[in-house]
Amino acid sequence: MCLLMVRCPQTGEEVWTGIETDPASFTNIPDGLFYTYCPHCRHDHAWWPDEAWLAYGMLRQQPSTAVFVGNLCVPRAPSALIS
């Protein structure tokens, strides 16, 4: 599995969206606006799927709030999900 990442517009840091997926499923994520809590600037960021990318390897930070639950994704912290 890969980690779906976006970039924090405030700090330029990479932010994990809380979504784990694979390259095939990533292309099937519906186009829409998603929100992810950013641990760097402590705000929620809105992002579009075409702004996100897949990261391979170890997670470098603690999972933040996952706000998108799709049938393509496996949330790491179910208690943090907003459905």
Site for Zn ion, rule CB under 5 A = 8, 10, 38, 40-41
Question: Closest distance between Zn ion and the C-beta of residue 24, in Å?
Answer: 29
Cβ distance to Zn ion smaller for residue 10 or 28: 10
The DSSP-derived string for 6-57 is: EE-TTT--EEEEEEEE-HHHHTTSPSS-EEEEETTTTEEEEE-GGG-EEE-S
| Smaller CB separation from Zn ion, 8 or 55 | 8
Choice between 10 and 61, CB closer to Zn ion: 10
Q: Smallest gap, in angstroms, from Cβ of residue 51 to Zn ion?
A: 13
Question: Is 68 within 8 Å of 82 (Cβ atoms)?
Answer: no
Instruction: Compute the least distance from the CB of residue 46 to Zn ion, in Å.
Output: 11
